[in-house]
Copies of this chain bind each other. A is one copy, B any other.
């Protein structure tokens, strides 16, 4: 532990007192530049921190001061884009919100996640490709897992909601999505329907007690 943190007051969300005006401006510039660069390059690995700093018109240190490290920057970017969906799943209207019956909500959640990864290939790839254990270690994964598990638990006779949640989420992994659309040439709609069919099979037919709507 260093005697006084010489850098990296990680500032994961810009919380605390109040950021200086130029700091806030630079933060936005960096996020915008990173987003653009990741979108332009196919592989996130080819985008360096120096590139992002240059594109944003700031020094490298600004980048690391604002986000801690590469992981932090990617996470911040990802979080920004994912926030609306997350919000919708937390307390939004059906079919994503918590009031939706599980046989409808689970597929809706997975479809939303899949569409997000289709629309933000680069970001999702960058996030999941950080290090080992990356998707699970921290960040948004536990949230989605818990949400999904909670919904799955309301389905009777489903043996292992916890593992099932993991397995269903694994079916939407960014690199798998990338492979299916890129190498196997599945269209967006094909992939969505495949995932929906698979999910339906896992959930089994809806019952009176678990789902109060006619299908």
Query: In whole angstroms, how far apart are the Cα atoms of A202 and B129 in the complex?
Result: 28
- A175 interface residue (CB < 8 Å to B): yes
- A194 interface residue (CB < 8 Å to B): yes
How many residues of A are in contact with the other chain, CB < 8 A? 39
B198 & A160 in contact (Cβ 8 Å cutoff): yes
Query: In whole angstroms, how far apart are the Cα atoms of A170 and B202 in the complex?
Result: 15
A167 & B132 in contact (Cβ 8 Å cutoff): no
Q: Could you say how many copies of this chain the assembly holds?
A: 2
Query: In whole angstroms, how far apart are the Cα atoms of A159 and B202 in the complex?
Result: 12
In the assembled complex, which residues on chain B have CB atoms less than 8 Å from the CB atom of A179? 133, 136-137
B198 & A131 in contact (Cβ 8 Å cutoff): no
Looking at A45, A132, A160, A175, the one whose CB has the most chain B CB atoms below 10 A away is: A132
* Given known A171-B166, A176-B170, A204-B201, contact A194–B132 (CB-CB < 8 A): no
- A111 interface residue (CB < 8 Å to B): no
* Residue in B closest to A170 when the chains form the complex, CB atoms: B170
What are 7 A-B pairs with beta-carbon distances under 8 A?
A44-B132, A136-B175, A136-B179, A137-B179, A160-B197, A162-B194, A170-B176
Interface residues of A (CB under 8 A from B): 43-45, 125, 129, 131-137, 158-160, 162-164, 166-167, 170-171, 173, 175-176, 178-180, 182-184, 191, 194-195, 197-198, 201-202, 204
Known: A167-B171, A170-B170. 14 other contacts (CB 8 A): A43-B131, A125-B133, A129-B132, A133-B179, A133-B182, A160-B197, A160-B198, A162-B184, A164-B201, A166-B176, A167-B198, A170-B171, A201-B204, A202-B202
